[in-house]
Structures are given as C-alpha cells and as structure tokens.
Amino acid sequence: MPFELSHELKAAHERDSLARQDFVSSLRGYILNDMAAGMKARFEDEVEPALVRSLGRAVQSQDEVHAAMRKDTYFKFYSSVRYNAQEMVWRAVIPGVEAALPDLSRQIDRLSSHGGGSLSLNPDLDIPENVAGLDVHLMPGGYANTETAAAGAVYDNGLAVFSAGFMGPNLDDIGLSMSNYVKRRFPDFHPARILDCGCTVGHNAAAWAQTFPDAEVHGIDVSASVLRYAHGRAQSLGLPVHYHQMDATDLAFEDASFDVIFTSMFLHELSLKDIKAFFVEAHRVLRPGGLLINMELPPNQELEPYDQFYLDWDCYYNKEPFYRAFRDQNPEDLIVAGGFARSDYFRFTVPQFSFTDEDAFIAAVNAPPSFDGETGRLSASLNWFGFGGWKAKI
Ligand SMILES: C[S@@+](CC[C@H](N)C(=O)[O-])C[C@H]1O[C@@H](n2cnc3c(N)ncnc32)[C@H](O)[C@@H]1O
C-alpha cells in the first residue's frame, strides 16, 4: 500500500490510482537510492578519470561534471526515468483529487468553525510570475490561485507519494525538526508569535503550533488554493494556525511583530531579487532578539562538485528555474544583505525528528553541522540543513 495521509481532507483514491501511487513511490526509491548510487559509481569509475585526463587537472565545478555526464548513457537513462516518475506522481493522484473536489469545499467550510485557526484571503493580491506562470516541479497548474482547494489537494496527495513516508506521518517532519531544533538548542527562547512564509498546505506551520502550543502561529502564501486547503487541514488536525494570502516580499504585518520567521523549501523557488526582498521584510517584522530560520537544500559551497551537480538536477530537468541560482549563494551574505549582523548568522544540520530518538537528536542539535552527499536528500540517512540569524536586540 502507498503512504496514506492521516487527516480528514485526504482524497479517497480508486484501487488503480493506489496501485500507481505504490508503484511510483517504489520507483522513486529505486531511482534516488539504487540508480543514484550506480550513477555515482559510473562517474567515479569512468567519467571522472576520462574528464581528469582531458582537463589535465582535478574536476573543479559542477558544470564540468554536468557537461561530461550529459553524454553518458547512465545519466540519460537516470534522467528520463526520474523525469517520468515525477510526472507519474501527479498523474497518480489527480483522478482522486478531482473526484474529491465537490466535497472538499464543504468539508473545509465545516472544519472552519471547528478549531482555533483562521483564513484570510486577498483577491486583489498580484500573484508573482514564479507562481502564476510556472508548473513548478512539473505539477500540472502549479500552485494555481483558484477558487477551489484543488492545487492544495494535488500538492498534499502528491507529496505523500513523492516522499514515500520520509516526511513523517503528517508530512511535517521538516517543521517538527526545525521547531524542535530551536526548542532544544535555545531552551530559554519562548516565541509568542511565529510566521511560516511560503507555507503551501501549511503542514510545517502546523508542526510549529504542535511544538510551541502557547505561541500564535501564522502562515502566508500567495496562492488562495493552497491556503484554503491548509486551513482545513490544520483544523482537522486540531492545530490552530492563522493563514493569510500575502506576498513574502511585501508582508502586511507591522514592524517587530514576530518572534520567529520560518521558511522551508521556499527560497529556492524565488528569484534572487525576491529572496533579497524577503530577507529585508523578515528583518523588519522580527522583534529585536527574534529568530529567522530557514530549512533549505545545502548550499553548493558546502558540497563536492559531483554532489552539487546531483542536487541541481531539479533546476535543469524538473522545472525549478531558480534552484541553482539560490544554491550558488552564500546564505550568510544573503541574510546580512537583509539587515542581520554577520556575527548573528548560524547554520546547522539535524536528523529527522520523526525518526530519531531524543538523545541522538539532542546530540546532533549540539554538534557542528555535517555535510555529505546525503544532506538534504530523500534517503534513509537524511539530514536537514538549516540556516538563519538573530535580529539584534536594541
Ligand atoms: C516549495 S513551496 C514551499 C513548501 C512548503 N513551505 C513546505 O515546507 O513544503 C513554495 C510555496 O511558496 C509560495 N510562494 C512563492 N512565491 C511566494 C511569495 N513571493 N510570497 C509568498 N509565497 C510565495 C508558493 O505559492 C508555494 O506554495
């Protein structure tokens, strides 16, 4: 059986769709583990020695790796299978979502009055081109800003298939890992207001509400569709979160109004110009002594050329056009440009909170970050990367 969502909005998929989901989850596991290992061996055993001979020196950049691998049949085969598996993720869930749609709005309306969260939409918001004009990661329609919760439902059901259990029972392991990192690393820090920017279906914002039950948690996104779904999803899990339709580069919150600004897998979907504008906004809305924390893919500067090339596959072949430009940046420089002091920058890696025992998690929280080819990859030894900064106290 494929991985199953555990909240009330989950779509009821027909048996054929379930079989497809099961197949594509297993296929992705095979691609990302077995085929990826085979491709790396192919590089080390054949492609790299030939490249070193022709360059007359060691390989220095992911562009050199990419140019050589593009001619290699293993890489071509890997890429076609991976690209097709990505399309199959969405195809395996869309029929179930379409069948569930008429009922979904009714369920969200019913759940709306059942918990402490809220939803506020802004029909006049300009939807930026990175959302309005892009079927990002080959998701049909992208995060479309529609009257229904369809995009949210496709994303949530698709993520369940895509991640094959690696994201935890509520697909919220990133939010749990980051919030529990903060709770254990900074035990004297007690945030009262927390904001998740680019929250999509709000799963990770809800995880912050779980970790800090006394805090008021907010999530923003530009797409009304994903927010409608996020609201119903959090209500059904009994986690009070306030969702708003808002642009992260122009936040409609007052100066110094949050203790934590959080993002996850968000920055790599923005242009560099928007990333810079977002960090200025994050600095503005944080209270002095507040914390900016971002979960992201590890920056290229921390990785070997082959691992840089491997992670940037999505930029070239998975409709994620800003992916590499973000990963080529030094995150420290980015937040300093937003107004944070260089001395207040920090970075870390943590194992998955959902699958790690407490002692091992605490040991990792207090250890220096560790980077290898597995960091940020959906694999059995997955480690999340995070970085951020404190806003200077007055
Ligand atoms: C990859 S998803 C983020 C995933 C989510 N945070 C998670 O942890 O799975 C990117 C989200 O950012 C939203 N987004 C893109 N540009 C935005 C902007 N300028 N302001 C707010 N949200 C934005 C998209 O609509 C999308 O839902």
- Ligand 1 atom having least distance to the Cα of 199: 6
128 lines ligand 1 (CB under 6 A): yes
Average pLDDT of 306-333?
Answer: 96
Q: Is 139 in the pocket of ligand 1 (CB under 6 A)?
A: no
Whether 158 is in the pocket of ligand 1, judged by its Cβ within 6 Å, is no
Of 123, 282, 280, nearest to 197 by C-alpha is 282
Joined tokens for residue 276: 């810079």
The pLDDT tens digits for 219-260 are: 999 999 999 999 999 999 999 999 999 999 999 999 999 999
Instruction: Give phi and psi for 118, each to the nearest 5.
Output: -150, 170
Point out which residues pair with 302 in neighbouring strands. none
Ligand 1 in contact with 204 (CB < 6 A)? yes
Cα separation, 286 vs 217, in Å, equals 14
Model confidence over 142-184: pLDDT tens digits? 998 888 999 999 999 999 999 988 899 899 999 999 999 999 9
- For residue 221, report the distance from its CA to the centre of ligand 1, in Å: 6
Q: Residue 92's domain is classified under what CATH number? A: 3.40.50.150
The residue whose CB lies within 8 Å of the most ligand 1 atoms, and thus the one to mutate among 222, 271, 281, 295, is: 222
- pLDDT in the model for residue 241: 98
Q: What separation in Å is there between the alpha carbon of 331 and the centre of ligand 1?
A: 18
Q: Is 174 in the pocket of ligand 1 (CB under 6 A)?
A: yes
Ligand 1 in contact with 221 (CB < 6 A)? yes
What per-residue confidence (pLDDT) applies to 314?
95
Q: Is the CB of residue 274 below 6 angstroms from any atom belonging to ligand 1?
A: yes
| Mean predicted confidence (pLDDT) in 211-225 | 98
Distance (angstroms) between ligand 1 centre and the Cα of 198 equals 3
The dihedral built from the CA positions of residue 209, 210, 211 and 214, taken in this order, carries a sign that is positive
Dump pLDDT digits (tens) for 85-123: 999 999 999 999 999 999 999 999 999 988 799 999 999
**Measured in angstroms, how far is the CA atom of residue 59 from the centroid of ligand 1?**
35
Q: Is the CB of 266 under 6 A from ligand 1?
A: yes
Report pLDDT for 136. 92
Distance of alpha carbon 75 from alpha carbon 80, whole angstroms: 9
Q: Looking at ligand 1, which atom is closest to the CA of residue 204? A: 8
pLDDT at 215 over 70: yes
Q: Is 125 left (phi over 0), alpha (psi -120 to 50) or beta?
A: beta
Across 153-190, b (16+ Cβ under 10 Å) vs e yields: bbbbbbbbbbbbbbbbebbbbbbbbbbbbbebeeeeee
In what order do the strands lie in the sheet containing 241-245?
A: 118-120, 241-245, 216-221, 193-197, 258-264, 286-296, 383-390, 345-351
Q: What is the DSSP letter of 4?
A: -
Q: Which atom of ligand 1 is nearest to the CA of 143?
A: 25
Atom of ligand 1 nearest to the CA of 274: 19
Distance 200 CA to ligand 1 centre (A): 5
For residue range 367-390, list pLDDT tens digits in order.
Answer: 998 877 666 666 666 889 999 999
DSSP of 54-79: HHTS----HHHHHHHHTT-HHHHHHH
C-alpha distances (whole Å) from 311 to each of 45, 52, 393 are 20, 22, 37
* Ligand 1 binding pocket includes 143 (Cβ within 6 Å): yes
Cβ(74)–Cβ(38) under 8 Å?
Answer: yes
- The whole-chain average pLDDT of the chain stands at 95
Helix axes of 73-112 and 15-29: crossing angle, nearest 10 degrees: 130
Count of domains observed in the chain:
1
pLDDT (mean) for 320-340: 97
Ligand 1 binding pocket includes 24 (Cβ within 6 Å): no
What the block records as the tokens of 289 is 């002594």
134 lines ligand 1 (CB under 6 A): no
| CA 199 – ligand 1 centroid, Å | 6
Q: How far apart are CA 272 and CA 51, in angstroms?
A: 32
Contact 292, 283 (CB under 8 A): yes
Distance of alpha carbon 317 from alpha carbon 77, whole angstroms: 13
Q: Residue 250, CB half-sphere, CA atoms under 13 Å: how many?
A: 8
pLDDT computed for residue 376 by the predictor: 64
Cα angle vertex 236, ends 230, 240, to 5°?
Answer: 70
Structural domain of 264 = 1-394
Alpha carbons 307 and 158: distance in angstroms, whole number: 26
Tell me if residue 120 falls in helix, strand or coil: strand
CB of 354 shorter than 6 A to ligand 1: no
The pLDDT, as a whole number, for residue 164 is 85
Would you say how long the chain is, in residues? 394
Tokens of 317: 């072949």
Q: Which residue puts its alpha carbon closest to atom 10 of ligand 1?
A: 266
368: DSSP letter? P
3-state secondary structure of 103: helix
- Name the closest-CA residue to atom 8, ligand 1: 264
Q: What is the pLDDT of residue 4?
A: 83
Q: Is 227 in the pocket of ligand 1 (CB under 6 A)?
A: no
Cβ-based neighbours of 118, under 8 Å, separated by 6 or more: 231, 242, 243
